[in-house]
């Protein structure tokens, strides 16, 4: 158990970061902190993928010196997944930020709970 | 390869392109493009359905030139094609039913964006239904979330923006967990295509190695999709999102968006993890218990509610609970009942939302129960439609809700250990359903002597009334001739594995 953890310390760190991000996104009431939590969570997943996709001593699969052996290269798909994931998380963060701006202009606060209580008072 | 095999890919691409084109069109043109698109996609899905029924087996369509296990694939069987067709019908009717409100509630200059978002939503739903690749499924889950968020927000007031923020936060938590689950599964198996993953998962499970990582993966994906489809403890965003957005959005969100995620979960259960391995894990009991809790607490919240649209929204929580209870039973019959309930709930809940808006409109826009007194006399069509929807939700024979309750009960009887809780909660939930829906029906049919409200006749709401009639017919078809549909679902589920 301990030895495994030491050998896979990158994945362990990714999991801890994922937990931190998840907790922030769930529990913080400040919208900006929530978005930061979202980004930590997503980045932790990319760290996990990158860590899993890299094998020590191998390089990205771009043939330069005519080395064709698969032993020399890493699998490019995890990196591709990371890129796709980054695109998704950028667009989602942008959407969240734009919602935050809307809410701030209306209520002059970033606290989601306070916005909710004010909405209840308004009654609409 | 037959030409029909291109249809699933074509319909997804058509939706994406229609979304792009609509963003440069005027509102009216965008409206026509949207209607035409949904009809075309429905026809294409129907063709695919007949083709698959004729050949009797599912087909795989390779996207691009790389064969499995490297490339990206689309797979269409009976259930996939049927779901695509059904989603199109519900979406078309929901759009028709909410057309008039859309003009009132959304700024004229922004209406075209509504159609852009619906086109994108349809494309993501189709992709979730058809795709054979887990990572593609994740990407389209996010597209689905973003466009659903837009549909909530397009009616601009404080409530909807707050609801959209809450919806996004819960959805992002869900998709974070789903992505983590997919990455871990990729790490375990080395594949992204569902059929390849399943082969590897079977080997891993039979060797007994990596038992805990596999369990964690199943848990992450199930919980992620459960959060996104608003299973009981994660439903806090739902009443505001469904209650205050424009009516088409509410109907589409409740009947299609959450169902898309549930369908993806069912696909993952059958095509990625394997039904037996999923059934043997503890996750299935967790889903079962939360489903049961949702059935009761959703209904209790609905009874307490004093706002008709929020009441219908809380009823959705209870109905999602039914679906997860069926999944949690861990039998083929339970799963078939869940799939039937997806159809029945989609047909009924969108009918209820659209009927409710007709009733509130003739009550000076108020959604309070006290103001709805006698509303069914002021808008007769909406009154009848709301009654039909309520009866179906309660589970009166002749309507679709009865059949799904019957299927759930039949499935529950065959499961040892889960039979008693399932049947008891089914009974309690039916009574609770009856309390709040019948309360509303009696309220709207209580005569009231006042001339402060205006009535509306058929002439002023032709499209709306026709839509309601279509919904009622759909409901009765699902309720009366359920056997062919249940057979179709069984055939489709068998085709999954």
Q: Are B324 and B288 in contact (CB under 8 A)?
A: yes
Q: Are B325 and B295 in contact (CB under 8 A)?
A: yes
Inter-helix orientation angle B308-329/B419-444, to 10° = 160
Q: Are B408 and B322 in contact (CB under 8 A)?
A: yes
Interchain contact, A119 vs B158, CB within 8 Å: yes
- pLDDT computed for residue A1 by the predictor: 62
Instruction: Tell me which residue of B33, B24, B19 sits closest to B122, measured CA to CA.
Output: B19
Q: And the tokens for B111?
A: 């209406």
Q: Is the dihedral of CA B131, B135, B138, B143 positive or negative?
A: negative
Percent of chain B residues past pLDDT 90, beyond the cut: 57
- Kindly state whether A95 is in contact with chain B, defined as any CB-CB distance less than 8 angstroms: yes
- Kindly state whether B197 is in contact with chain A, defined as any CB-CB distance less than 8 angstroms: no
Measured in angstroms, the CA of A62 and the nearest CA of chain B are apart by 18
CA B248 to chain centre: 14
Q: Which residues of B touch A14 (CB under 8 A)?
A: none
Percent of chain B residues past pLDDT 70, beyond the cut: 100
- pLDDT computed for residue B233 by the predictor: 86
Q: What is the CATH number of domain A2-56+72-122?
A: 1.10.287.3510
Measured in angstroms, the CA of B430 and the nearest CA of chain A are apart by 31
- pLDDT computed for residue B178 by the predictor: 95
CB nearest A99 (choices: B139, B168, B244): B168
State ipTM.
0.94
Is 60 exceeded by the pLDDT of residue A124?
no
Is 90 exceeded by the pLDDT of residue A6?
no
Measured in angstroms, the CA of A67 and the nearest CA of chain B are apart by 22
pLDDT digits (tens, 9 = 90+) for B365-409: 788 888 888 888 888 889 999 999 999 999 888 898 899 999 999
For B192, which residue in chain A has the nearest alpha carbon? A77
- Kindly state whether A115 is in contact with chain B, defined as any CB-CB distance less than 8 angstroms: yes
**Mutation to test the A interface, candidates B135, B136, B176, B307, most A Cβ within 10 Å:** B176
- Kindly state whether A37 is in contact with chain B, defined as any CB-CB distance less than 8 angstroms: no
- pLDDT computed for residue A117 by the predictor: 87
Q: Per-residue confidence at B14, pLDDT binned at 50, 70, 90?
A: very high
Is 70 exceeded by the pLDDT of residue B461?
yes
- A63 or B76, which is more confident: B76
Q: Residue B156 and residue B181: Cα distance in Å, rounded? A: 35
Give the domain ranges of chain A. 2-56+72-122
Average confidence score pLDDT of chain B: 90
Strand partners, B76: B59
Q: What's the number of domains chain B is made of?
A: 1
Three-state helix/strand/coil letters over chain B: CCHHHHHHHHHHHHHHHHHHHHCCCCHHHHHHHHHHHHHHHHHHHHHHHHHHHHHCCCEEEEECCCCCCCCEEEEECHHHHHHHHHHHHHHHHHHHHCHHHHHHHCCHHHHHHHHHHHHHHHHHHHHHHHECEHHHHHHHHHHHHHHHHHHHHCCCCHHHHHHHHHHHHHHHHHHHHHHHHHHHHHHHHCCCEHHHHHHHHHHHHHHCCCHHHHHHHHHHHHHHHHHHCCCHHHCCCHHHHHHHCCHHHHHHHHHHHHHHHHHHHHHHHHHHHCHHHHHHCCHHHHHHHHHHHHHHHHHHHHHHCCEHHHHHHHHHHHHHHHHHHHHHHCCHHHHHHHHHHHHHHHHHHHHHHHHHHHHHHCCCCCCEHHHHCCHHHHCHHHHHHHHHHHHHHHCCCCCHHHHHHHHHHHHHHCCCCCHHHHHHHHHHHHHHHHHHHHHHHHHHCCCCCCCCCCCCCHHHHHHHHHHHHHHHHHHHHHHHCHHHHHHHHHHHHHHHC
What is the extent of the structural domain holding B339? Answer: 282-497
Looking from the CA of B427 toward its CB, the CA atoms found within 13 Å total 6
pTM of the model as a whole = 0.94
- pLDDT computed for residue A123 by the predictor: 66
Within 8 A by CB and 6+ apart from B37, the residues are B14, B15, B18, B119, B122
B157 φ, ψ (degrees, to nearest 5): -150, 170
């Amino acid at each position: 158990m301990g030895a495994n953890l030491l050998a896979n310390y990158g994945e362990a760190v990714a999991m801890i970061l994922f937990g931190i991000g998840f907790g922030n996104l769930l529990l913080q009431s400040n919208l900006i902190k929530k978005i930061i939590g979202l980004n930590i969570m997503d980045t932790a997943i990319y760290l996990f993928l990158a860590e899993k996709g890299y094998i020590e001593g191998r390089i990205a699969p771009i043939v330069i010196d005519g080395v064709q052996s698969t032993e020399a290269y890493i699998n490019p798909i995890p990196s591709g997944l990371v890129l796709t994931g980054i695109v998704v998380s950028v667009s989602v963060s942008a959407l969240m930020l734009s919602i935050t701006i809307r809410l701030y202009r209306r209520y002059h606060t970033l606290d989601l709970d306070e916005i909710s209580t004010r909405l209840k008072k308004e009654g609409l | 390869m037959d030409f029909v095999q291109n249809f699933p890919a074509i319909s997804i691409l058509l939706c994406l392109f229609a979304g792009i084109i609509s963003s440069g069109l005027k509102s009216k043109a965008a409206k026509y493009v949207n209607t035409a698109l949904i009809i075309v996609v429905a026809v294409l899905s129907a063709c695919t359905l007949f083709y698959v029924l004729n050949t009797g087996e599912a087909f795989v369509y390779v996207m691009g030139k790389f064969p499995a296990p490297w490339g990206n694939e689309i797979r269409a069987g009976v259930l996939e094609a049927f779901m695509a067709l059904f989603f199109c019908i519900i979406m078309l009717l929901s759009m028709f039913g909410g057309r008039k409100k859309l003009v009132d509630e959304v700024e004229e200059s922004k209406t075209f964006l509504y159609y852009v978002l619906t086109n994108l939503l349809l494309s993501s739903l189709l992709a979730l239904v058809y795709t054979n690749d887990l990572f593609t499924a994740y990407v389209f889950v996010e597209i689905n979330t973003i466009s659903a968020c837009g549909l909530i927000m397009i009616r601009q007031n404080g409530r909807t923006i707050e609801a959209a923020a809450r919806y996004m936060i819960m959805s992002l938590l869900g998709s974070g967990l789903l992505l983590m689950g997919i990455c871990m599964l990729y790490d375990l198996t080395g594949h992204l295509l569902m059929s390849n993953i399943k082969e590897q998962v079977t080997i891993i499970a039979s060797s007994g190695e990596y038992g805990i990582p596999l369990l964690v993966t199943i848990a992450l994906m199930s919980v992620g999709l459960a959060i996104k489809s608003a299973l009981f403890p994660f439903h806090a965003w739902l009443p505001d999102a469904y209650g205050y957005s424009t009516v088409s959005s509410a109907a589409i969100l409740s009947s299609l968006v959450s169902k898309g995620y549930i369908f993806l979960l069912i696909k993952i259960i059958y095509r990625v993890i394997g039904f037996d391995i999923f059934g043997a894990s503890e996750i299935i009991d967790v889903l079962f218990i939360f489903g049961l809790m949702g059935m009761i607490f959703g209904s209790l919240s609905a009874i307490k509610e004093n706002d008709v649209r929020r009441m219908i929204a809380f009823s959705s929580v209870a109905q999602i609970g039914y679906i997860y209870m069926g999944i949690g039973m861990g039998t083929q019959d339970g799963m078939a009942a869940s799939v039937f309930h997806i159809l029945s709930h989609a047909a009924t809940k969108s009918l209820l939302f659209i009927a409710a808006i007709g009733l509130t409109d003739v009550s000076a826009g108020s959604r309070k129960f006290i103001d709805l007194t006698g509303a069914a006399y002021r808008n007769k069509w909406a009154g009848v439609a709301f009654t039909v929807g309520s009866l179906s939700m309660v589970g009166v024979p002749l309507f679709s809700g009865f059949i799904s309750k019957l299927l759930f009960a039949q499935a529950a009887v065959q499961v040892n250990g889960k039979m008693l809780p399932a049947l008891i909660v089914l009974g309690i939930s039916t009574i609770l359903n009856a309390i709040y829906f019948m309360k509303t029906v009696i309220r709207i049919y209580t005569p009231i002597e006042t001339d402060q409200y205006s009535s509306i006749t058929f002439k002023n709401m032709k499209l709306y009334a026709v839509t309601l009639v279509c919904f009622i017919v759909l409901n009765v078809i699902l309720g009366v001739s359920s056997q062919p549909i249940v057979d179709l679902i069984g055939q489709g589920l068998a085709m999954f594995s």
